[in-house]
Amino acid sequence: MEAYAVTPIFKGGWLIWENAEDVGMYLVCGNNRAALIDAGMGTGDLLSEISALTDLPVIPLLTHGHPDHYLGIMSCPFVFLNEKDHSLMRHYIELEAQEEGTDTPLIPKLLPLPARIDLGGLTLSTVPLCGHTQGSTGFLVEEEKVLLSGDGLIYNVWMQLDESSSLSEYRKTLENLQTFRPCFERIWTGHGIESLDASHLDRVISLLDTVIEAPFGYPNPSDEPPGIVADGAGCKITYRMDKI
């Protein structure tokens, strides 16, 4: 099985799907430079995959600081990440080294995300998606009306993590995202081979409102860490009772 499956999703944009890990990353190419949004687990030669798609200089961007989104670019000298997740990424890198009994690897220099990135003909703007992690960030491809959301807005939002915000705080994040609603029609996430329509935002907000008012759901011990899964109309939220 090939390490990656590459699918064009708009002119100048590709989904790079890491087959062994069921995680997606995105390459967005303008006229002058390109951006890589997330990097997966690094089970294949991601940089070679990218070089087959473009010879433009590539800016590495992360939606958040979880290992399944950064391990593929540990060899890069720097990466852009929301400052609220800098310590989180360092924590997971150090934790993995401790668990494996190895020295902590060289960590790419972590740079704060710019508000907008002009790629030449395509423009990325950052959108706060605090919830799944404190620094979760989405990227709007302005000209294509696409939101690249990572795990910040996805079919099943994991909110049971220690680094996750409360459901009420996440609800405020999504309410603020509504102001960007005219700017995107499709949502491409960090763990899906198909996009979601923009109305998915409404479905998640509706489910959040229901759970916050009267918590419900079923435990899922197979998740790590385990949580309570609330299943709504076309979306799910995994949460903890102490983080409502």
The domains of the chain, with CATH numbers, are 4-243 (3.60.15.10)
Confidence of residue 233 (pLDDT cuts 50, 70, 90): confident
Output the CA torsion sign for 114, 77, 69, 52.
Answer: positive
- In the numeric block, the tokens 């020295």 are attached to 103
Q: Is the confidence at residue 128, as pLDDT, over 90?
A: yes
Distance from chain centroid for Cα 234: 19
- The stretch 170-187 carries a mean pLDDT of 97
Confidence of residue 104 (pLDDT cuts 50, 70, 90): confident
pLDDT confidence of residue 221 = 85
Return the number of other C-beta atoms located less than 10 Å from residue 72's C-beta: 29
pLDDT confidence of residue 224 = 85
- How many Cα neighbours within 13 Å face the side chain of 204? 30
Q: Can you give the pTM of this predicted structure?
A: 0.96
Extract the tokens encoding 146: 């696409």
Extract the tokens encoding 68: 């399944």
Q: Is-contact 148 139, C-beta < 8 A?
A: yes
Q: Please state, in angstroms and rounded to a whole number, the distance separating the CA atoms of residues 28 and 226.
A: 34
Extract the tokens encoding 25: 């990353």
Q: Nearest-5° angle of CA 128, CA 134, CA 136?
A: 45
Task: Order the strands of the 156-158 sheet from edge to edge.
Answer: 156-158, 236-239, 227-231, 218-220
pLDDT confidence of residue 105 = 82
Task: Transcribe 112-165 into DSSP letters.
Answer: PPPSEEE-SS-EEEEEE-TTSSTT-EEEEEGGGTEEEEETSS-SEEE--STTS-
Output the CA torsion sign for 210, 212, 217, 223.
Answer: positive
Q: Is-contact 126 139, C-beta < 8 A?
A: yes
Q: Is the confidence at residue 1, as pLDDT, over 80?
A: no
